[in-house]
Amino acid sequence: MSEPMVKVHNVTKVYERGKQKIEVLHGLTLEIPKGDFVALMGPSGSGKTTLLNLIGGLDKPTSGEITVGGNRIDQLGSGQLANWRAHNVGFVFQFYNLMPVLTAEGNVELPLLLTRLSAAQRRKNVAVALEVVGLGDRAKHKPRELSGGQEQRVAIARALVSDPQLLVCDEPTGDLDRKTADEILGLLQVLNREHGKTIVIVTHDPKAAEFARRTLHLEKGQLLEQAA
Amino acid sequence: MTRTGFVVANLFRKRTRTILTLLSVIMAFLLFGLLQSVNTVFSSGADFVGATRLFVQARVSFTTPLPRSMVPKLEAIPGVARVAYQQWFGGVWQTNTPLIMFALDPQRYHDVYAEWKMPEAQWQAFEQTRTGLIVGRQLANQHGWKLGQKIPISSNIWPQKNGSKAWEFDLVGIFDGKDEDWQKRTNLAFIQQDYFDEANQFGLKGRTNFFILKLAPGADAQAVSKTVDAMFENSPDETKTQTEKDFNISFVKQIGDIGLIVRWILFAVFFTLLLVVGNTMAQSVRERIPELAVLKTLGFSDGSVFGFVLAEAFALVLAGGLIGLALASLAGAMVEKATGGQFLLRLDASVWLLGVLAIVLMSLAVGLLPGLRARRLEIVDALAGR
């Protein structure tokens, strides 16, 4: 683990809710090396998801710098940021957020519609991604025909299919039972160890955090400690 | 999968709702096609080009009869080759089947209308039989009438001198059209003017509803029309002279300003459609705000997401619109056939062009606001359900 994949420098994030201003992150600085697997933990409202959103380019900081994979994403416009996300980051959510009208393979293919790949190449990549998550035989199934664990595997395949170096996961096991959660976390561990993906997950679950290489604790918008 | 496939898949996320909405679009464009083609027919200006016959009626209304003494004056006008006349009989077959039936002078009518094909012997029989009746093939086939049969027909306007509305005619001829178009119009029936004059209770003698002028080859129809109307200007029997087509149109125009009626109906139809489809689209976007946020998360730009929503609206209105217009074409052809070609309800290029324009405008009207809402979504807020 050498050059940082993610550099967060003195980042502040303030949300405006009506007349109220809520400062969620206060001058936070952080580095995540390439190939790392980091768990972000902390109580509700500590800023975990906000930090994850900033790292994934879903939101922009009020002040400070964020560099991911060598790109200053805090300086990108909305269209550039969308393009950057399409090619550099994969997302996994707590509630899977699959398109109910599409099959598993349709869901996984969705990000590839933003590439110049041919239909045949897209199908090939989708098949590989579904194989990696162990769902090659469920390609034609719609989300409602899959279990929660299988839906989350499809979501991981969707996050992987365009081969991003960074995966950001917001409570990826929050809606799953222990056994399934461990399977999903094991899969993320494989992606980190064998495929070299840098992974950042937000979790409340200490057992989930054990699958990461290290855990960062946030409280009231500030990083508390860095545990090995 | 393609972007188009994704749009179609989203469209059918709520199958029943989409089908019901599609049906409403189809119905609206079916009405649009039919009414707009009616409007096109009625709003077209007078066209004398290629006219070989002119119709002369009283300026006020063709229900006001004109004196037949006008015939020699009309025939003296340069460009007029022959004059026929027709009187509406208001015939009814059995209890309630109305017939398009006129009293006329057989010889004159035969001279003016070469399009009707009937053996000369039958034309002569019509001329020589005071109670003679000739009918078109379509009408004869419809009621199973045979030559030589006595046909009882009542008139809802003209009782006989004995007070009876029941008349009896001898079927002496059955005519065909010269071609397929004219054959479609063989739903007519004609009786002798002389017999009608003599037998009707109201003694309507020497007058008729309208004259038909057969023009000489090369005659200027518009000039003849002007001459006729000028000739009877400021007389008790002022005239209105027009082509056969315009006469048929003005017949229907009596019920009111067709264009205005059509426009108001279409306004109501499309306004309702706007609410129905607009509501469907708005609801559809509202239901999947998190999904739209996920699209943006995956890297689809604001413009792409806007495009997806607009494309859904366009696909829905386009499919419904084209099906509706195609059905209108079919219905128009059926109306044309059912009326024996008297009512040409054809969707010409201008109606299709207007239809396509309406599809585009309607798509924009129903897709724009939901599309803009989708475009403006902030990912973080949408994913958090705010």
Q: Which two tokens stand for residue A44?
A: 């509700």
Asked whether residue B77 falls in the same domain as residue B206, the answer is: yes
Asked whether residue B115 falls in the same domain as residue B172, the answer is: yes
How many angstroms separate the CA of residue A188 from the nearest CA in chain B? 19
Of B166, B191, B219, the residue at which a domain comes to its end is: B219
Of B164, B197, B219, the residue at which a domain comes to its end is: B219
* Of residues A220, A194, A195, A192, the one with CA closest to residue A39: A192
Asked whether residue B18 falls in the same domain as residue B114, the answer is: no
Nearest to A111 among B291, B299, B303 (CB): B299
B104-111 long-range Cβ contacts below 8 angstroms, 24+ apart = B104/B190, B104/B191, B104/B192, B104/B193, B105/B192, B105/B193, B105/B194, B106/B132, B106/B134, B106/B190, B106/B192, B108/B82, B108/B83, B108/B84, B109/B84, B109/B190, B109/B212, B111/B82, B111/B84, B111/B214
Determine the Cα–Cα distance for residues A68 and A82; give it in Å rounded to an integer.
14
The answer as to whether B70 is a domain residue is: yes
Question: Looking at this predicted complex, what is its ipTM?
Answer: 0.91
Q: How many A×B Cβ pairs under 8 Å?
A: 71
- Beta-strand (E) ranges in A60-194? 63-68, 71-72, 89-92, 166-170
pLDDT at A170: 92
Would the CB atoms of A113 and B2 count as touching at under 8 Å? Answer: yes
Of B199, B219, B239, the residue at which a domain comes to its end is: B219
Residue A206 backbone class (left: φ over 0; alpha: ψ -120 to 50; beta: rest): alpha
The answer as to whether B151 is a domain residue is: yes
Would the CB atoms of B296 and A87 count as touching at under 8 Å? Answer: no
Q: Do β-strands A37-41 and A214-219 pair in parallel, antiparallel, or remain unpaired?
A: parallel
The answer as to whether B135 is a domain residue is: yes
Write out pLDDT tens, residues B153-194. 999 888 888 888 899 999 999 999 998 878 878 889 999 999
pLDDT at A227: 40
In a structure prediction context, what are the per-residue pLDDT tens digits for chain B, which is 386 residues long? Answer: 888 999 999 888 888 999 999 999 999 999 988 888 877 766 655 555 567 899 999 998 878 899 999 999 999 999 999 999 999 998 999 888 889 999 999 999 999 999 999 999 999 999 999 999 999 999 999 999 999 999 999 998 888 888 888 999 999 999 999 988 788 788 899 999 999 988 888 777 788 999 999 999 988 888 999 999 999 999 999 999 988 877 776 666 666 677 788 888 888 988 988 898 898 889 888 888 999 999 999 999 999 999 999 999 999 999 999 999 999 999 988 887 776 666 667 788 888 999 999 999 999 999 999 999 999 998 988 887 77
Domain range for B20 is 3-44+257-383
B372 alpha carbon, distance to own chain's centre: 41
Q: Residue B193 in contact with residue B235, Cβ under 8 Å?
A: no
**pLDDT exceeding 70 applies to what percent of chain A?**
97
Interface test with B, best of A49, A80, A85 (most B CBs within 10 A): A85
Asked whether residue B213 falls in the same domain as residue B263, the answer is: no
pLDDT at B243: 86
The answer as to whether B249 is a domain residue is: no
The answer as to whether B248 is a domain residue is: no
The answer as to whether B201 is a domain residue is: yes
Asked whether residue B34 falls in the same domain as residue B138, the answer is: no
How many angstroms separate the CA of residue A79 from the nearest CA in chain B? 6
Which distant-in-sequence residues (6+ apart) come within 8 Å of B328 by Cβ? Answer: B29, B30, B31, B32, B33, B34, B37, B347
Asked whether residue B289 falls in the same domain as residue B193, the answer is: no
Asked whether residue B64 falls in the same domain as residue B199, the answer is: yes
The Cβ-side half-sphere exposure at B150, using a 13 Å CA radius, reads 5
The answer as to whether B189 is a domain residue is: yes
Nearest to B290 among A82, A97, A102 (CB): A97
pLDDT at A18: 81
> Interface of chain A against chain B, CB under 8 Å?
53, 56, 58-59, 78-79, 82-87, 91, 93, 97, 99-102, 105-106, 109-111, 113-114, 119, 158
**pLDDT exceeding 70 applies to what percent of chain B?**
93
Asked whether residue B60 falls in the same domain as residue B201, the answer is: yes
All domains of chain A, ordered by start, with CATH? 4-227 (3.40.50.300)
Asked whether residue B290 falls in the same domain as residue B182, the answer is: no
Q: Coil, helix or strand for B321? A: helix
Asked whether residue B101 falls in the same domain as residue B205, the answer is: yes
Asked whether residue B136 falls in the same domain as residue B105, the answer is: yes
How many angstroms separate the CA of residue B17 from the nearest CA in chain A? 15
Asked whether residue B180 falls in the same domain as residue B36, the answer is: no
> What is the number of structural domains in chain B?
2
pLDDT at A3: 72
Write out pLDDT tens, residues B117-158. 999 999 999 999 999 999 999 999 999 999 999 999 999 888
Mean pLDDT of A179-204: 91
The answer as to whether B9 is a domain residue is: yes
pLDDT at B47: 55
Determine the Cα–Cα distance for residues B183 and A162; give it in Å rounded to an integer.
68
Minimum mean pLDDT range among A77-86, A161-170, B60-69, B136-145:
B60-69
